[in-house]
């Protein structure tokens, strides 16, 4: 279970955004032999049956027309629920040490307009254990509306990046060097890390919204993000069902890039199976994120 920063007593070696965890000798050595996250990327591609999820979205919107729920909102809630139930997915490696976050955080990029030169905004939020998909939908809708209502006016991380980028190149290089050094030791000020997708548990990219297939997106050595997921377009595909029949089902391709130092392939595979299970039983999203799914991993 992820550490709760309100109850957890900080110890020597902890960071502001996570507690240091004791791991196996192999993981400890890997963090030193391969200190760069981009050297430890593993890629995963899967096609998930989202037929039941799409039916669920239709029912939700018919019952609550005042609150529009989208497939992407359900994906965010499902991912948060998976991470809550699979705590190793909420770990990261920085400064050659392994940490576990105090909170689950999800980030994604929102286009201000569907145009080639339209600005992008970085959105970041922390779902609570008591949140359901309805809370997630409301939070996402409010954040997107707030960002788009600003037009070309920027705030938060976006505004800070523009200000730093305006300095001469040698100064920008020096600032970046200092920031990376602080990042290594976990001493970056909250103003630089809060709301930055590079510090999110999972960074999502809904490429399906722009009719683009799922791709593999690299991780970054800066920050603490260990999981990058892209979601492709929803399309129909003939599938063999458990009873031996063939049906046309709605499916979605997913591409994920993970830091292999936070877990092993077996753990990642079981976490993916949980996502499949939630998509097949979307009513679980009506339950709080912190409530166990009841999935039988055996």
pLDDT tens-digit profile of 112-157? 655 555 566 678 889 999 999 999 999 988 888 877 776 666 656 6
How wide is the angle at C-alpha 114 spanned by C-alphas 113 and 115, nearest 5°? Answer: 95
Angle of helix 156-165 versus helix 169-185 axis, rounded to 10: 130
67 CB neighbour count, 10 Å cutoff: 13
In this model, does residue 102 exceed pLDDT 80? yes
In this model, does residue 264 exceed pLDDT 70? yes
73 CB neighbour count, 10 Å cutoff: 23
Q: Read off the pLDDT of each residue in 179-187 and give the average, rounded to a whole number.
A: 92
Rounded Cα distance, 61 and 44, in Å: 32
pLDDT at residue number 114: 55
């Amino acid at each position: 279970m992820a550490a709760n920063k309100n109850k957890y007593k900080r110890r020597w070696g902890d960071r502001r955004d996570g507690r240091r965890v004791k791991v196996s000798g192999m993981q400890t050595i890997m963090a030193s032999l391969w200190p760069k996250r981009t050297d430890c990327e593993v890629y995963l591609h899967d096609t998930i049956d989202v037929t039941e999820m799409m039916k669920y979205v239709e029912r939700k919107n018919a019952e609550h027309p005042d609150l529009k729920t989208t497939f992407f909102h359900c994906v965010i809630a499902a991912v948060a629920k998976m991470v809550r139930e699979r705590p190793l997915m909420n770990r990261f490696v920085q400064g050659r040490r392994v940490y576990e976050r105090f909170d689950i955080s999800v980030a994604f990029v929102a286009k201000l307009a569907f145009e080639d030169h339209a600005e992008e905004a970085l959105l970041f939020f922390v779902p609570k254990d008591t949140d359901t998909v309805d809370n997630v939908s409301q939070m996402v809708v409010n954040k997107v509306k707030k960002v788009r209502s600003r037009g070309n006016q920027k705030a938060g991380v976006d505004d800070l990046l523009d200000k730093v980028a305006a300095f001469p190149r040698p100064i920008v290089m020096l600032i970046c060097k200092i920031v990376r050094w602080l990042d290594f030791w976990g001493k970056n000020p909250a103003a630089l890390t809060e709301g930055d997708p590079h510090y999110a548990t999972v960074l999502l990219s809904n490429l399906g919204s722009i009719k683009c297939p799922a791709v593999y997106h690299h991780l970054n050595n800066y920050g603490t993000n260990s999981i990058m997921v892209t979601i492709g377009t929803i399309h129909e595909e003939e599938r063999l069902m458990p009873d031996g029949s063939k049906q046309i089902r709605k499916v979605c391709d997913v591409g994920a890039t993970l830091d292999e130092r936070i877990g092993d392939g077996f753990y990642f595979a079981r976490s993916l199976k949980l996502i499949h299970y939630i998509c097949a039983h979307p009513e679980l999203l009506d339950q709080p994120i912190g409530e166990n799914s009841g999935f039988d991993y055996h």
